[in-house]
């Protein structure tokens, strides 16, 4: 009887609301399409996610999602579409269905809530997703884990130096350098890393005198094969979405989507962190100008075979459109209501990390992420890169810098106010030879609007309606680094007031503090609907 009364009371409340008090779902700036430059819902701003496949957002986390129509109890982000009530009968049916969903979610998630309570700052956000097959990213990371067993029965990794973090840094850097080399027909300078087929495909894009401002906004995996002890060759197909500017008398900005296939022998060992962005002969280390037609004149070796390092065996242009970043207007966020994609082994891996370093805790990681979140909000709204530089990896910082400069050059300013994290969920913990990485799904909310200089007219978003959004954030820290995380603006190396140059070095002690060598830094931001696990 008590349960029935509660059920009827819930129905009565829902009927009384009639769903008519929910305002129409408006799109906020950077609602997941701005990197692409246009949307069926209108132009967008802020975010560098293109067509829902972003690996980083233009302001990292700063906005997205439909406004207050979302709830954190598994509700939808629907809109009233004109505010009509639709009749008491319709409301009653909707109310009964809503209560049924709420009860089912509550019962199904009760045990999970208890296990994850330390990570959640709000109620559960929908039922857990079904278990999926291993993601392609995780499959590739297996290079550092799987391999043949020795005589003692222990596993010998195929490549004990492999790090998925360093691989993605390398591939993003190679993408930028290759497109820059298209300017002035200089692709031969990178022939150590390109097959003839890939060079031909790149030359087919045209022959500009210069290519600049190359920014990778999304990088996802389409295919991974050969990660096995019995395989002689590893193959990875990476899907890029990017912006760059070509100069051929006049400047033209492009949005592009490309699929690159990279291969290498399974037995090849990965390069260390300090050499990830250094391009030289992959066999002897000679300068790249010694490599002509894939043959290094120093070691007299053809080096684009995949026997020494990754080589791009093919490149396919999927989309190429004349447009730059769209910084005004509104679009609607995608994926905020999707269930969280969790690795079932995440807590076990975090426990192992905490045993190794007792200073690590769920609360400490949460404080560090919230600290980075606040600093980035301020830096973004002020169009100042200095405030975010100490807390971002090189690739992520370059993306943010691109968008800050784009807003400044356009005479625009994107503002976030009252930004706050409403929920954090542990998603994945990975460890390799060089890094520990913790991925969290972050739900947040803020006002989000774009102003035009100098009259400060609102040209996107709203000054009065908040937006709810969520993203997957990955923090990295050097393997073996121990101790409490900083939540004050001071150098983690020398303790001086935090002052960092664009390269990520402390201006007092010259230590490079943005690489994770001293504390957790933000390495990757992925949109809900694009997260691969």
List pLDDT tens digits, range 419-445.
999 999 999 999 999 999 999 999 999
User: So what's the pLDDT on residue 52?
Assistant: 31
Percent of the chain exceeding pLDDT 90 equals 50
Domain boundaries, the chain: 136-322, 346-530
Strand partners, 312: 194, 262
Q: Which two tokens stand for residue 271?
A: 């390069």
CA gap 99, 103 in Å, rounded: 6
Q: Tell me how far apart the alpha carbons of residues 379 and 60 are, in angstroms, rounded to a whole number.
A: 11
Lowest mean per-residue pLDDT among 24-28, 196-200, 282-286 = 24-28
pLDDT (average), residues 312-327: 90
Structure tokens that stand for 486 in this block? 């900083």
Tens of pLDDT, residues 252-300: 999 999 999 999 999 999 999 989 999 999 999 999 999 988 999 999 9
**pLDDT of 3:** 46
d(CA 270, CA 470): 34
pLDDT band, very low/low/confident/very high, at 86 (cuts 50, 70, 90): very low
Give pLDDT, residue 49. Answer: 33
Q: What is the mean pLDDT of the chain?
A: 78
- What are the angstrom distances between the C-alpha of 526 and each of 57, 386, 520? 8, 23, 18
Burial class from Cβ neighbours inside 10 Å (0-12, 13-18, 19+) for residue 185 reads exposed
Model confidence pLDDT, tens digit, residues 499-531: 888 778 888 888 888 888 899 999 988 888 777
* 346-530 is a CATH 3.20.20.70 domain: no
Region 11-18 average pLDDT: 36
Residue 38: is its pLDDT beyond 50? no
DSSP 241-286: EEEEEEEESEEEEEEEEEEEEEEEETTPPPPPGGGTT--S-TTT--
pLDDT of residue 134: 62
In this prediction, residue 315 carries a pLDDT of 98
Q: What is the pLDDT of residue 103?
A: 46
Cα separations in angstroms, 515 against 279, 345, 367: 19, 26, 19
Question: What pLDDT score was predicted for residue 355?
Answer: 96
Please indicate whether residue 110 or residue 153 has the higher confidence score (pLDDT).
153
66-75, 301-310, 328-337: range with lowest mean pLDDT: 66-75
Is-contact 523 437, C-beta < 8 A?
yes
Lowest mean pLDDT, pick from 109-123, 240-254, 378-392, 444-458: 109-123
Q: Whole-prediction pTM value?
A: 0.74
Three-class secondary structure of residue 503 per DSSP: coil
The pLDDT of residue 119 is 56
* Helix-helix angle 362-381:394-410, to 10 degrees: 30
- pLDDT for position 159: 94
Quickly tell me which residue has 């700052």 as its tokens.
Answer: 121
Residue predicted with more confidence, 39 or 311:
311
């Amino acid at each position: 009887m008590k349960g029935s009364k509660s059920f009827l009371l819930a129905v009565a409340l829902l009927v009384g609301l009639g769903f008519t008090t929910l305002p129409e779902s408006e799109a906020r700036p950077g609602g997941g399409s701005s990197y692409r430059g246009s949307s069926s819902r209108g132009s967008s701003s802020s975010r560098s996610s293109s067509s829902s496949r972003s690996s980083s957002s233009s302001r990292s986390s700063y906005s997205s999602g439909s406004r207050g129509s979302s709830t954190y109890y598994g509700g939808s982000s629907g809109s009233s579409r004109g505010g009509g009530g639709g009749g008491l009968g319709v409301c009653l049916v909707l109310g009964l269905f809503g209560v049924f969903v709420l009860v089912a979610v509550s019962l199904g998630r009760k045990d999970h809530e208890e296990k994850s309570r330390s990570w959640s700052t709000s109620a559960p956000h929908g039922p857990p997703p079904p278990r999926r097959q291993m993601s392609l990213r995780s499959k590739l990371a297996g290079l550092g884990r799987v391999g043949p067993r020795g005589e003692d029965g222990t596993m010998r990794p195929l490549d004990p130096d492999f790090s998925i973090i360093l691989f993605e840094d390398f591939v993003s850097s190679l993408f930028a350098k290759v497109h820059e080399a298209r300017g002035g027909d200089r692709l031969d300078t990178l022939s150590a890393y390109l097959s003839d087929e890939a060079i031909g495909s790149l030359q087919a894009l045209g022959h500009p005198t210069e290519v600049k401002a190359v920014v990778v906004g999304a990088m996802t995996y389409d295919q991974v094969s050969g990660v096995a002890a019995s395989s002689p060759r590893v193959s990875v197909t990476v899907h890029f979405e990017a912006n760059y500017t070509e100069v051929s008398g006049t400047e033209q900005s492009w949005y592009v989507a490309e699929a690159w296939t990279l291969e290498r022998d399974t037995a090849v060992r990965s390069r260390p962190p300090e050499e990830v962005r250094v391009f030289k002969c992959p066999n002897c280390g000679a300068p790249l100008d010694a490599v002509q037609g894939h043959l290094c004149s120093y070691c007299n070796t053809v080096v684009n075979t995949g026997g020494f390092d990754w080589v791009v065996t093919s490149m396919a242009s999927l989309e190429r459109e004349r447009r730059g970043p769209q910084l005004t207007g509104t679009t609607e966020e995608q994926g905020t209501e999707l269930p969280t994609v969790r690795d079932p082994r995440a807590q076990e891996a975090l426990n192992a990390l905490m045993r190794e370093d007792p200073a690590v805790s769920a609360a400490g990681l949460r404080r560090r992420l919230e600290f980075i979140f606040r600093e980035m909000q301020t830096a973004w709204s002020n169009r100042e890169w200095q405030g975010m530089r100490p807390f971002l990896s090189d690739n992520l910082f370059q993306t943010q810098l691109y968008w800050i400069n784009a807003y400044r050059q356009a005479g625009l300013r994107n503002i976030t106010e009252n930004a706050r994290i409403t929920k954090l969920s542990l998603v994945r913990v990975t460890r390799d030879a060089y890094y520990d990485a913790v991925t969290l799904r972050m739900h947040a909310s803020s006002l989000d609007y774009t102003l035009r200089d100098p009259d400060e007219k609102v040209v996107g978003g709203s000054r009065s309606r908040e937006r709810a959004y969520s993203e997957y954030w990955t923090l990295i820290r050097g393997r073996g680094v121990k101790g409490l995380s900083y939540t004050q603006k001071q150098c983690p190396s020398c303790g001086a007031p935090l002052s960092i140059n664009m390269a990520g070095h402390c201006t007092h002690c010259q230590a490079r503090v943005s690489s994770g060598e001293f504390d957790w830094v933000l390495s990757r931001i992925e949109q809900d609907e694009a997260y691969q696990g």
